[in-house]
Structure formats: structure tokens, C-alpha cells
Amino acid sequence: MNNYPHNLLSIEKSVAGRRGVRFAPASKRAGDYLPAGLLRGEEPRLPQLSELDTVRHFSNLSRLNVGLDTHFYPLGSCTMKYNPKAYEALAAHDGFAAAHPFAPEQSAQGTLELLYKLEELLKAATGFDAFTLQPAAGAHGEFTGALMAKAYHLSRKDKARTEIIVPDTAHGTNPATAAMCGFGVISIKSAPDGRVDIEELKKALGPKTALVMLTIPNTVGLFEKDIKAIAPLIHEAGALLYMDGANFNAVIGTVKPAEMGVDIMHINTHKTLSTPHGGGGPGAGAVGVVKNLEEFLPQGRVAFDGKKYSFAKPSKRSIGAVKSFYGNIGVLIRAYCYLRQHDGQTLKEISQNAVLNANYLKALLQKHFPVFFDYPCMHECVFTLDAAKMNGVKTLDIAKRLLDMGFHAPTIYFPLLVPEALMVEPTETESRETMDNFAAAMIKIYEEAQTSPDLLHKAPQNCPVKRIDEVSAAREPDLHW
């Protein structure tokens, strides 16, 4: 038995008649105001717990979780870096949190000013000419960008551009986004060095190409070193270049994406700009564009006339709205805080230390775990397994054993073209000691694979549950109580 709390559901702890919060009841019942036919028959099956029961239930659930605040979390491509506590307190300030989105503009000048200035900071950090803050997540930013590309080509009466090109290393969101926007997807094979194969790209580019989506650095942690040749090829073909900013943390402060010839880019605030991941969200996916795409941005941009801030009237060619209101404001406040705590020099330190930590881990681990594309990496490094030396141990076993050793696992089995992939992204907020400890754990696991592989197949043993049979969940889905 381990020392973790039991995982009883709240409904299993429920006792009829028990409750946490009470309101001073209304003087009349719903039926006194509304016709019976519109009212609920049965009450919903929600848990009935006291406030203490509730507090204990969720406090104990939190103890079944590993978070960045408690553990090293080298989840590749997710940039799990420290989320400063000051920003939590500031974003929760009533002046921001209690504001209704339809309150008169004069009562929301502080929020509007912050959004306006955030756009200025993002422009300064990336070189783009304009940003939308409306998208709710990275994938939502991709969707916004791809729709803008579509609107751009249609505005030029160029209806033939029905395809989006993505490399085979792309995140699944890129092809899924393209399909959602009604584009065909052309996937191109990477070159042997893990980067875009320029000849393949040339073959794929043509009058049907609307957009090329590149992740820079790419998902094997390498910079597109030929970007200065790639961008003009795309533009000469009449297409636009989209940069998936999922890995922007590697180059913030070192490179301005707009200067590479990128036309559209999203920034995952929960990655590069240190807003918390929240167990899966909310994030935000600000999208930057060059001048000739500005008129296609969604609604909700803030204007300043020198005296007061107000929402700008969207241009006639705006793609409209990708969600309600103006964006995930609570998240954007934290992103603003982060950028205000950095200047050119400290931005550069982000990318330098992120890249240093990744290369240091690469150097420490390479003897035991081969690097699939063995070049100096950027912010993350993709390891693979030498099957002949692993005694039947798989990447999954290693990931589970890491959990036992007090680390969150790296991203595994992605990118798809790397067999048994282990994608490690340490981030700049981790120290050398953490790298050393993690490397020691990985090497110990390597040794265990030689001596006691069964230990790895049976991992984890020290987590709240043992290894889960994930297939059992899909067989007869049990999705609610």
C-alpha cells in the first residue's frame, strides 16, 4: 500500500441532505414565477458534501497529481517552466477579475490599457506589425491563422489555393487545423538531417499552396537553418509562411520571427510566456501578422486615441470572431506581467539557458540513449532507444519508471518519425542540479534495463495507481457516474 489518499468519487462520499454553501433562500419557489412545464423534474445527481468534505476531497485529489511546483516536468514541446506566483495574485485582482465584458469602456480603462500594451510588447518581441489576443489556445491560434490565410487569398480572388503544406514532423494540430479550415493537407518528408527537405518543399509548392506551416525550431528540436532560403521560395510561389510558435521559447530574445520571413505566427502564452498550464488549460494563443494581413485579424483589438482606450471597429475584411469576447483576459494579464519583467537582455537569457540545459542533458545522456538526429539541439532533445541494448525495455517503461523516481516523464512516442521517442524539454527555469539528477535517474534506468527489466515493465510502483491498462477504458467506456 502506498500513502496516497483513496480515490473515492465525491458522489461516493455523498450523504443526502448534507451541503456546503447555503444562500438566503428566495421568498417564493421557481414554480411561483414560471410554468411547471419549463421546470426540472428530477434534481440533478450532484454530490452532497459539507464544505470541509469538499475541501478535503479536492485537496486530496491534488495530492494525486504531479505538477511543476512539485516536480521536474520535462514534457517536450510543452515548455513546462516556472509560473511566477506574483502573476497569480495580480490576475486575480478584483479590478480585473470582477469586470463584466459589457461594462462601459470608461469603466474598463485599466484592462484595455493592459491589452493594448501587451500587443505592443508582443510586437516588440517578435517583429510583427499587429496581433490578435482573441484565440484561446495554440491550436485555436493556428485555426485563426489558417483562416486569415484563406481570407487573404480569397480577397485577392485567388480561389485555387486549397492546400496547406506541413512537414511530417508537425504536431497533429497542424494538419487537423488545415482540415478544419477546409484545406487539403500535403505532408512532406523531412530531410535526413531532420529539417525541411528543400527539394520536397519545391515539389509540393505551387499555385494550389495557400500556406506552409513550420514549427521553428521544429519538433525534433532543430532550427530550420535554411529558413532564409525557404521563406522566399514560399513567397515566390504566392503562398504564406506560418510559424507554429509552440517552440518559440528556444529563440525568444535571440531571433525575431518576422525577420525570418514569417507572415503569421501564434504564441502559446502558457509555454513561452509562463502562464500556468492549469492541468490542460486555459491557455491563450496570441497571433501576430505582418502588415498586409492586419486587416484580416479577428475583432476585439484595442485602439488608443492618446486619451482613452477603446475597442477598435473591426475592418471589413476581418475574419470575424473565433470565440466570444476579447480573449482569455485572465491568462493575458499574466503574459503581460511576464513580458514586463523582461527586456532584450533577459529575453535572450531565456533562450540561452533553455538551449544550454537541453544540450547539457544531451551530452550527459547520449552514451546511453542515442539522439535520433544528432546535431546540437535547441530547447529540446529527442532521444531514442538502441533496441539491442535495452533488453526488451520500451520507452513507455522508462517513462513509467521515471514517475517512480520523482520526475514527470518526457513526451513519449512523438514526433512520430522517431521510433521509441523520448522528447525532453528541460526549460530555462531549471538548474544544473536538476539536470544532473534527472540524468542520473535516466542512467540508473538504463542500468536497470540490463539487470532487472521486469522492474521497468512493472513500473510505476510508487504512484497513486500502478500501470493503467489504457485499452480497458475504451472497451466499454465509463465516462460519468
Considering only residues 244 to 263 of the shown chain, the ones binding another protein according to CB under 8 A are 251, 253-256, 259-260
Going across the sheet that includes 264-268, the strands are 130-132, 285-289, 264-268, 240-244, 209-215, 163-167, 184-188
Minimum distance between the CB of residue 388 and another protein, rounded to whole angstroms? 26
Residues 130-169 that bind another protein (CB under 8 A): 136-140, 142-143, 147, 150-151, 154
Amino acid (one-letter) located at 402: L
Question: With contact defined as beta carbons under 8 Å apart, do 272 and 248 qualify?
Answer: yes
| Alpha-carbon 31 to chain mean position | 46
Residues 215-244 that bind another protein (CB under 8 A): 222-223, 225, 227-228
Minimum distance between the CB of residue 393 and another protein, rounded to whole angstroms? 17
Q: What track of x and - describes contact with another protein for positions 52 through 71 (by CB under 8 A)?
A: --xx-xxx-xxxxxxxxxxx
Q: Does 100 bind another protein (CB under 8 A)?
A: yes
State the DSSP H helix or E strand holding residue 88, giving kind and residue range, or none if neither: helix 85-91
To the nearest 10 degrees (0 to 180), the angle between helices 329-340 and 109-126 is 60
Which range touches another protein (CB under 8 A), out of 233-241, 361-369, 387-395, 417-425? Answer: 361-369
C-alpha neighbours within 13 Å on the C-beta side of residue 267? 35
Residues 457-476 that bind another protein (CB under 8 A): 458, 460, 463-470, 472-474
Which range touches another protein (CB under 8 A), out of 106-114, 235-243, 417-425, 446-454? Answer: 106-114
What length does the chain have? 481
Q: Does 48 bind another protein (CB under 8 A)?
A: yes
Which residue's CB is nearer to another protein, number 427 or number 448?
427
Q: Does 417 bind another protein (CB under 8 A)?
A: no
Q: How far is residue 347's CA from residue 335's CA, in Å, rounded to a whole number?
A: 13
Which residue's CB is nearer to another protein, number 237 or number 423?
423
Residue 334: CB atoms within 10 Å: 23
Which residue's CB is nearer to another protein, number 23 or number 388?
23
Which residue's CB is nearer to another protein, number 56 or number 206?
56
Question: With contact defined as beta carbons under 8 Å apart, do 318 and 296 qualify?
Answer: yes
- How many chain residues touch another protein (CB under 8 A)? 205
Using a 10 angstrom Cβ sphere, with 0-12 exposed, 13-18 middle and 19 or more buried, the burial of residue 349 is middle
Which residue's CB is nearer to another protein, number 111 or number 190?
111
Given candidates 132, 169, 177, 272, which one binds another protein under the rule CB under 8 A? 177
Cell numbers that stand for 455 in this block: 522492474
Rg (CA), the chain: 25
Q: Does 97 bind another protein (CB under 8 A)?
A: yes
Beta-bridge mates of residue 381 = 424
Which range touches another protein (CB under 8 A), out of 203-211, 235-243, 314-322, 440-448? Answer: 314-322
Given candidates 161, 208, 266, 277, which one binds another protein under the rule CB under 8 A? 277
Which residue's CB is nearer to another protein, number 65 or number 450?
65
392: left (phi over 0), alpha (psi -120 to 50) or beta: left
State the chain's maximal CA–CA distance in angstroms.
76
Which range touches another protein (CB under 8 A), out of 205-213, 286-294, 341-349, 380-388? Answer: 341-349
Considering only CA atoms, which of 360, 383, 141 is closest in space to residue 272?
141
Which residue's CB is nearer to another protein, number 303 or number 450?
303
Grid look-up 544550454 returns 356
Q: What track of x and - describes contact with another protein for positions 15 through 34 (by CB under 8 A)?
A: ---xxxxxxxxxxxxx--xx
Considering only CA atoms, which of 267, 265, 256, 204 is closest in space to residue 230?
204
